[in-house]
Amino acid sequence: MTTSPGTPVVVGITGASGAELARATVDALLDSGTPVIASASSASRLVWEHELDESFGAALERWTDTGLFTYHPPTQLNASIASGSLATRGMAIVPCSMATAAAVAHGFADNLIRRAADVCIKEKRPLVLVPRETPLSAIHLENLTSLARLGVTILPPEPPFYLRELTVDRIVDYIAHRVIVALGLADAMPETFRYDGP
Ligand SMILES: Cc1cc2nc3c(=O)[nH]c(=O)nc-3n(C[C@H](O)[C@H](O)[C@H](O)COP(=O)(O)O)c2cc1C
C-alpha cells in the first residue's frame, strides 16, 4: 500500500502518566501538516485532568481547528481506523499503559485503540509504543518483548541526558520528535536534539 503526506497517522492516548507526551506528539504531528486520527481511553482522561492545566476538551477543540484532526471515542469500534482498509502511516500509542501494552501483545482488541494497534500489526504498518511505568515487572517486560519481536517500536520516554539544560518541556518535545522519526515521518531528529559527538 502506498501512502502520501496526506495519509493520516493514528494516535492512541492511554492511561499511563505522561499526558503531556500525548499533547506534544499530536501538536508536533499537526504542526508538520500530518493529519491525525486520535482516540483516548477513559483512564487517559483521568490522567490528563490530573497532570495538565489545559482541559482535554480544549485540546480537542484546538486540534480540530487545524482541519487535520479527527477524534473517535475508544468505544467507537466501527470507526475507520478499526479496519485495515483505511490507509494510515501507522500509529503511536503515547503514553502507553501496561494494560494496553498487555492487551495489544495478546491481540485483545476490545477498544478502538487496541483494535487500531492490532490492525497496524496485522497490516505490518509502523506501530510505536511509548510505555510509561516504573519499575517494570517481568509481565510488563515480556509483553513489551513480544511486541518488539513483532517489529513494534518500544520507545520509553527516557530523557536525553547527553543534552544540556534539560527541562521537562524539552524532554517531552524530544520524545514527540523521536516518535515522529520512529513512524518514518522524518529522517532524523532536529539538530537541537542530536548528540553532538566528535
Ligand atoms: C493518575 C493515574 C496514573 C496512572 N499511571 C500509570 C502509569 O504510569 N503506567 C501504567 O501502566 N498505568 C498507570 N495508571 C493505571 C492505568 O490508567 C490503568 O491500568 C488503566 O486501566 C489503563 O487503561 P487504558 O490502557 O485503557 O488507558 C494510572 C492511573 C491513574 C488514574
Mean pLDDT of the chain: 96
Number of domains present in the structure of the chain: 1
- How many whole angstroms separate alpha carbon 168 and alpha carbon 151? 29
Please name the residue that has the C-alpha cell 501496561.
98
| Any domain includes 197 | no
What was the pLDDT predicted at 198?
A: 87
Name the residue of 39, 47, 144 to mutate for ligand 1: max ligand atoms within 8 A of Cβ. Answer: 47
| Any domain includes 191 | no
| Any domain includes 198 | no
| Any domain includes 134 | yes
Structural domain boundaries, residue 71: 9-186
The CA 21 to ligand 1 mean position distance, Å, reads 14
At 98-120, the pLDDT tens digits run 999 999 999 999 999 999 999 99
| Any domain includes 192 | no
| Any domain includes 151 | yes
| Any domain includes 2 | no
At 33-91, the pLDDT tens digits run 999 999 999 999 999 999 999 999 999 999 999 999 999 999 999 999 999 999 999 99
DSSP string, 51-92: H-SS-HHHHHHHHHTTTSEEE--TT-TTSGGGSTTS--S-EE
The residue count of the chain comes to 198
Q: Which residues line ligand 1 (CB under 6 A)?
A: 14-17, 41, 43-44, 46-47, 50, 97-100, 132-133
